[in-house]
Structure 1
Amino acid sequence: MEPVQRLAVPADAPAIAELMRESVLSLFPAYYDQAQVASAVVHIAGLDLALIEDGTYYVHEAGGEIVACGGWSRRNKLFNGSVAGADERLLDPATEPARIRAMFVRGDWTRRGLGRAILTACVDAARTARFTRLALMATLPGVPLYKSFGFTEVEPAELTMPDGVVLAAVAMERAVDLNGDAR
């Protein structure tokens, strides 16, 4: 069964939330300890419905199941653990980077190009919206994908979750060629 990429719709929310949870439980233990994984399930694997409402969130569906998800945002929120209200302001495409947000792949569907396909769609959409840069806050499992897609490390980061648990992360950016290819 070949996965099909499409924009997420509100009815997808429960399946996306479960995918996020499964992805963290499957992929994070290779990079984080048990307390960090448990915290990430609660604080990182939370669906921001604004991404779906804004029409900037994609899913890959295979056999009636959502197996990958991710998107971009024109709002001022870098990741789910950001300060509440940070996403209310729209970003200025001329001076600020669009955000890559909430990328998750089910553990048994990794390394099949789904993340890359979602990133390509994000770059194309951000380009159409006239953004010249993309930014993201990568958890450690995502860093190899983002590097392979042309993102560069800006700086290492420590994300303190609301429960006090700290996760290592990496702030990353990449340019968007307004006339070029997404890859």
Structure 2
Amino acid sequence: MNYTLRIAQEQDISVLKKIISESTRELSKRHYSEEQIELALESALGVDTQLIKDKTYFCIEDQDEIIACGGWSYRTTLFGNDNEKSRNATQLDPESQAAKVRAFFVKPQYARQGLGSMLMKKCESEAIKLGYSKLELMATLPGVKLYEKHGFSGRGSVEYQLSDEVTITFVPMYKQI
């Protein structure tokens, strides 16, 4: 396949939201309940426009159709979309802090074709260019295998509160680069 990787633009947001919803609903259903998925799409998963403004979020296209997205950040926020309450745009110090790998999603029919790896290589090289030697991320359960393949290791799991009654399991992961 001849895929093209490019920086995401503001005009891509509506398509990105659709891909994120499709990807999460289809590729997470073996790991999470429908209720967890729907609540996660409200805050924990989705488009963070700060990444688009920072030009650290990428799209992969197949003949001008966006089929995957993902990025990294030099800011404090580890995960979440624009509705996430704990967002923090403070810039990180590459000497002492880890860059954040953020929001990887692939259209279900393109899953397991190397697109996540393509995004990871791009994010890692961009972080290195800015002086980072560590990466961290908050993985969904379906994403753990991809991140392990790229040298990340997990340190247990966390239960993230989605509502008063519902949590979702995430895995914090780290890597020296």
Residue aligning to 1:2: 2
Q: Give runs of aligned pairs for residues 40-119 of structure 1, distance below 5 A.
A: 40-80=40-80, 84=85, 86-119=87-120
- Corresponding residue for residue 19 of structure 2: 19
Q: CA deviation at 1:88?
A: 1.8
Provide the aligned C-alpha RMSD in A.
1.6
In the alignment, is the contact (CA less than 8 A) between 2:73 and 2:100 conserved in 1? yes
Shift of 1:164: 4.5
- The TM-score normalised by the length of structure 1 is 0.90
Corresponding pairs, count: 176
TM-score, length-scaled by structure 2: 0.93
* 1:156-167 alignment runs, 5 A limit: 156-162=157-163, 164-167=165-168
For 1:131 and 1:40, the matched residues in 2 are separated by: 29
83 and 15 in structure 1: CA distance in 2 versus 1, 3 angstrom threshold: closer
Q: Which residue of the partner structure matches residue 148 of structure 1?
A: 149
70-79 vs 159-168, which deviates more? 159-168
Identity over the aligned pairs, expressed in percent?
A: 35
Counterpart amino acid of residue 68 in structure 1: A
CA distance in structure 1 between the aligned counterparts of 2:113 and 2:67, rounded to whole angstroms: 11
SS in 1 for 2:29: helix
Contact 1:154 1:171 in 2 (8 A): yes
Q: CA deviation at 1:35?
A: 1.1
